[in-house]
Structure 1
């Protein structure tokens, strides 16, 4: 009994500390120690072999995905500092008009993250322009939070096939799939997230207008002019080149095979066998191309790449620490009982899979953490139940991106800090578009998978 209580205490404390902006690495270690002590797990082995270096160990995960995090952060830094990210957003402003601030924010975030720019960089890059657009349209800042969360933190990370996000890469290591697994399901799920999310945001825009709720700048907001934002911005067509290159490089082995190339061709075989390294190469290659074509990036290219790589360390370690905590939890009898109850439940396998992935991601407050834990502890059972590897890849990735965004999610907390909003002010909109919308879209996609 004390083990179960300790398990809930550890998980509850992790959520409580995260909500109070306590460093998630520190919180994960403290909560892991509580679970170890209350469940009678061997102390030294649980720390050294489970939390740090086990299959779900913090440093096991960090080592496995370091290059992907580093390459993504480096690419994002170059796209931001070269103003290429701003150029793409400005092109949407010119095409749609500044009054379409919600659409511009969502589409810009989606283009950038699908092209490989990490979420945090997108938020930083879009915020100055977002302030100007939302002030001009007299829309409340809370809707900027919802719009950037929808565009940069939902369908481009978990649903759309081909994205180089960590969420799309993790299943490939266990299942032997590629980044384009179950493309029909992914496109359908992504479309549902976009449509439902935009419908909600547009509804909130109309309500805000009717209630006289408008833009209010934060105490530290400095709102730039459109002229200063557009200064030194490359042409939008040029700005798209690195993004297209990332997706094109990732897609090239599949296209070559479709066009008749043998899967045994050395470079195709290499790309197919390296689900982490290949997208990392794509991001690094795009970074080099971006440096070559953007004059502002060439001035301090090496330094910029170094800063970008450094920027990857804290997000990587934070995610790794949560996974290490999950690894300790996975060793307890309580988690074993939970696993047996979920897998053995009298439910269709895809439904119980959704429940398991959603629960784990909600507990950890991390979609990538929940996804890694699911793949290590549940994947074999669902493959044995007859779920295809491609369906499992896509549906679990999508399921992990729902309850991960509860109020204690690290990405949510960072977004609120950057935009100077509180949970009370902005979490309702963030929660609707990153929890409710992805959950509904995933269930609809799950239903489609059962029909097909």
Structure 2
């Protein structure tokens, strides 16, 4: 009984501390110790061999994915500092009109994240322009939170095939799939997320106008003029080149094989065998090209890219610490019972897989953490049931991106801090587009996979 209570105490404490903005690395270590002590696990072994260096260890995860995090953050910093990200958003403003603030925010976030720019960079890059657009459209800032999370934090991270996101890479290491696993399911699920999310945001926009709810800046908001935002930005066509290069490089092995090249030889075999290194190379190559293309990035390119790599350290360690906590939880008898209950439940395998991934991601408040834990502890069971690796890859990735965004999610907390809003003011919109919408889309995609 004490062991089970300790397990729930550790998980509940992690959520409580995250909601109070306690450093997630400290919180994960503290909660792991709570679980270790209450479950009678060997202390030194659980810290060294499980939390730090086990298959689900913090340093094991950090080592596996350091290059991907570093390359992604470096690319994001170059695209931000060169104003290329702003250029793409401004092109959408010119095409759609400033009154389409919601659409511009969603589409800009989607283009940037699908092209490899990390979510936090997109939020920082889009926030000044978002303030100007939402002020011009007289829309509440809470809807900016909903729009940026829909575009940058849902379908481009977990659903669309080919995205270089960590969520799309994690399954490849366990399942031997590639970044384009189950492309039709991914496109279907991504389209559902986009359509439902935009329907909700447009409904909220009309309701806000009818209720007289308009734009209110935060106490520290400095709203730039459109002229100052557009100053010194490169042409949008040039700004798109690095994004296209990322996806094109990832796609290159497939194109080469389609044109008759030998899939088992040379660089094609290397790319296919390196699911982490190849997208990392694509992001690094695009960073170099961006430095060459944009004069503002050429002033101090080495320092700029170095600062980008520095940007990756805290997100990497935070994610790794949560996974280390999950590794400790996975050693407990309570988790073993949970695993047996899920896998042995009288329900279709895809449904129980959705339940397992969603539950773990919800507990950890991390989609990448939940997905990594699922792959290490559940994937073999579903492969043994006959579920195809491609379906596990795509559906588990999509399922990880639902309940991860509950109020204690670190990304949600950071977004609200940037926007100077509280959970009470803005979480409803974030929750609908990042929890409810992805869950519905994943269940519909799951149903499609069971039919076809």
- Which residue is 1:202 aligned to? 202
- Which residue is 2:448 aligned to? 448
- Which residue is 1:253 aligned to? 253
Name the SS of the counterpart of 1:316 in structure 2: helix
Distance 2:184 2:114 in 1: 17
Distance 2:104 2:403 in 1: 26
- Which residue is 2:373 aligned to? 373
- Which residue is 1:410 aligned to? 410
- Which residue is 1:421 aligned to? 421
Distance 1:302 1:133 in 2: 33
- Which residue is 1:285 aligned to? 285
- Which residue is 1:23 aligned to? 23
Give a deviation string over 1:265-323, Cα, whole Å, max 9, x none: 21000000000000000000000000000000001111110100000000000000000
Name the SS of the counterpart of 2:263 in structure 1: coil
- Which residue is 1:270 aligned to? 270
Shift in Å at residue 260 of structure 1?
1.1
Q: Which runs of 5+ in 1 are unaligned?
A: none
Shift in Å at residue 255 of structure 1?
1.2
- Which residue is 1:119 aligned to? 119
Give a deviation string over 1:202-226, Cα, whole Å, max 9, x none: 0000000000000000000000000
Q: How does 1:107-146 map to 2 (within 5 A)?
A: 107-146=107-146
Distance 2:258 2:414 in 1: 42
Give a deviation string over 1:156-206, Cα, whole Å, max 9, x none: 000000000000000000000000000000000000000000000000000
- Which residue is 1:65 aligned to? 65
Q: How does 1:283-322 map to 2 (within 5 A)?
A: 283-322=283-322
Distance 2:36 2:217 in 1: 46
Shift in Å at residue 19 of structure 1?
0.1
- Which residue is 2:217 aligned to? 217
Q: Is structure 2 residue 183 aligned with structure 1 residue 166? A: no
Distance 1:254 1:390 in 2: 16
Give a deviation string over 1:6-61, Cα, whole Å, max 9, x none: 00000000000000000000000000000000000000000000000000000000
Q: How does 1:430-441 map to 2 (within 5 A)?
A: 430-441=430-441
Shift in Å at residue 430 of structure 1?
0.2
Name the SS of the counterpart of 1:339 in structure 2: helix
Shift in Å at residue 259 of structure 1?
1.4
Name the SS of the counterpart of 2:40 in structure 1: coil
Name the SS of the counterpart of 1:170 in structure 2: helix
Q: Is structure 2 residue 83 aligned with structure 1 residue 93? A: no
Distance 2:419 2:14 in 1: 24
Name the SS of the counterpart of 2:290 in structure 1: helix
Distance 1:98 1:260 in 2: 47
Distance 1:264 1:446 in 2: 33
Q: Which runs of 5+ in 2 are unaligned?
A: none
TM-score, length of structure 2 as denominator length: 1.00
Distance 2:134 2:341 in 1: 48
Distance 2:441 2:6 in 1: 34
CA-based RMSD of the aligned residues comes to 0.3
- Which residue is 1:102 aligned to? 102
TM-score, length of structure 1 as denominator length: 1.00
Distance 2:79 2:231 in 1: 15
Distance 2:22 2:106 in 1: 30
